């Protein structure tokens, strides 16, 4: 069977990557439909050498669609995903809108593909920073259990969208070429477009991704906490995150500290991660080999290195985790979910999901 697949948000940074990932995918595709806002409708994009005209997303856009990949913002998913499901499509949503809904599985295929089995028409793709951490930690959790996770992220500006990339390039140009003091650079987007103040990212590190919640953590940090517990199906795991934006264009990096339930020999930890699907160990301190953002760009895998025991905590382990946030952190994970739905024979209409979701 070959499917009709739609991409909502096809002209965005993630949407264009979804097209590329579908070209490389094992998913049998009979027809690809590209959907966007009215601003981008009428543009032409290519899929496997053929021109496809981008259509405006409407309530009737999903007739005949089997799989709909959404990456156009939470409000778009909230509005149009119900129409896609009612038309008989399975929705894979790359926004945060459905992630914590108990009726919606939150899936990293290498980690919890079984969660797809009971889907009711919508599957959520986790946050980019959560996805790569799950790939690195799941093989450890399976063998030795996890008590605590403390993660500090070093996230690329592409996670904030195309305008953030352009703002970063402009600031770096003005600082380097024009000699503007970095603290005097004009910022309009980062650290969070919807917040009151904006700060330059050039030659800077911003300890804020998304806006702050009432508990003084940002929404990005709470996403990592809550999503980890849901994906690993364990509310007892202690998770704390500090999320930082740095002037790197693509690929997120993370310093991850974990405490296992039982002592884990470090050589076995490296072996477990290296043999886990989607993970690649790059770890040779004597040769200065460890994951780097510039090397991860354009690759689907998650790279793990600097794996070492904590010097004071017998069950403590440190590691460094890097992945392309637009690929494994978004587009590839979404397409991978679609592939897994096909492999498990789960691409079928649902009658069980009622809107608004309870």
Residues at the binding site are 11-14, 39-40, 99, 155, 158-159, 245, 325
Annotated binding-site members for phosphate:
99
Burial of 182 (0-12, 13-18, 19+ CB in 10 A): middle
Annotated binding-site members for substrate:
155, 245
Helix axes 266-274, 128-144, angle to 10 degrees: 120
- Which among 119, 125, 243, 252 is annotated as catalytic? 252
Tokens of 13: 């940074």
| DSSP secondary structure of 60-120 | TTTTT-SEEEE-S-HHHHHHHHHHHHHTTPEEEE-SSTTTT-TTS-B--HHHHGGGGGG--
From the list 46, 47, 68, 48, the residue with the least C-alpha distance to 57 is 68
Tokens of 288: 């200065």
Whole-Å CA distances, 203 to 81, 148, 165, 245, 246: 40, 32, 14, 11, 8
Q: Which residue has the tokens 């202690």?
A: 238
Does residue 252 carry a catalytic annotation? yes
Q: Are 186 and 95 in contact (CB under 8 A)?
A: no
Distance separating alpha carbons of residues 261 and 259, to the nearest angstrom: 7
How big is the CA angle at 347 (ends 135 and 138), to the nearest 5 degrees? Answer: 15
Distance separating alpha carbons of residues 123 and 339, to the nearest angstrom: 13
Please give the order of strands across the beta sheet that includes 55-56.
55-56, 29-36, 3-8, 67-70, 90-93, 122-124
Element (H, E) at 273: helix 266-274
Distance separating alpha carbons of residues 303 and 351, to the nearest angstrom: 40
Annotated binding-site members for NADP(+):
11-14, 39-40, 158-159, 325
Tokens of 21: 């990932």
DSSP code, position 311? S
Tokens of 325: 């946030």
- Which among 97, 119, 125, 128 is annotated as catalytic? 128
Does residue 198 carry a catalytic annotation? no
Across the strands, what pairs with 202? none
Distance separating alpha carbons of residues 264 and 125, to the nearest angstrom: 30
Q: Kindly list the catalytic residues.
A: 128, 252
């Amino acid at each position: 069977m070959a499917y009709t697949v739609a991409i909502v948000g096809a002209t965005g940074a993630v949407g264009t990557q979804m097209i590329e990932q579908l070209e490389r995918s094992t998913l049998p595709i009979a027809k690809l439909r590209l959907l966007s806002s009215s601003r981008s409708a009428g543009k032409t994009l290519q899929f496997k050498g053929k021109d496809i005209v981008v259509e405006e997303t409407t309530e009737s856009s999903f007739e005949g669609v089997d799989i709909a990949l959404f990456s156009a913002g939470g409000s778009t998913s909230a509005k149009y995903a119900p129409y896609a499901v009612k038309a008989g499509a399975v929705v894979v949503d790359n926004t945060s809108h459905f992630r914590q809904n108990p009726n919606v599985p939150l899936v990293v295929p290498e980690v919890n593909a079984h969660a797809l089995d009971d889907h009711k028409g919508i599957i959520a793709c986790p946050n980019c920073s959560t996805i790569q951490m799950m790939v690195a930690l799941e093989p450890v959790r399976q063998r030795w259990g996890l008590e605590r996770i403390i993660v500090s992220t070093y996230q690329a500006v592409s996670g904030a969208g195309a305008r953030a990339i352009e703002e970063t390039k402009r600031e770096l140009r003005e600082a380097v070429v024009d000699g503007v003091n970095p603290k005097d650079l004009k910022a309009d987007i980062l650290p969070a477009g919807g917040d009151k103040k904006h700060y330059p990212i050039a030659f800077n590190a911003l300890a804020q991704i998304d806006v702050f919640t009432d508990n003084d953590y940002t929404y990005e940090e709470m996403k990592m906490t809550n999503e980890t517990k849901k994906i690993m199906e364990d509310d007892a795991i202690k998770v704390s995150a500090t999320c930082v934006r740095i002037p790197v264009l693509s690929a997120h990096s993370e310093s991850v500290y974990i405490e296992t339930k039982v002592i884990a020999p470090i050589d076995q930890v490296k072996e477990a991660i290296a043999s886990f699907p989607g993970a690649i160990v790059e770890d040779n301190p004597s040769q200065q080999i460890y994951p780097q953002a510039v090397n991860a760009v354009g690759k689907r895998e998650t790279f793990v290195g600097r794996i070492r025991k904590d010097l004071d905590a017998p069950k403590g382990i440190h590691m460094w985790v890097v992945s392309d946030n637009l690929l494994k952190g978004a587009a590839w994970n979404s397409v991978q979910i679609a592939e897994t739905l096909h492999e498990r024979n789960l691409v079928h209409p649902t009658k069980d999901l009622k809107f608004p979701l309870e």
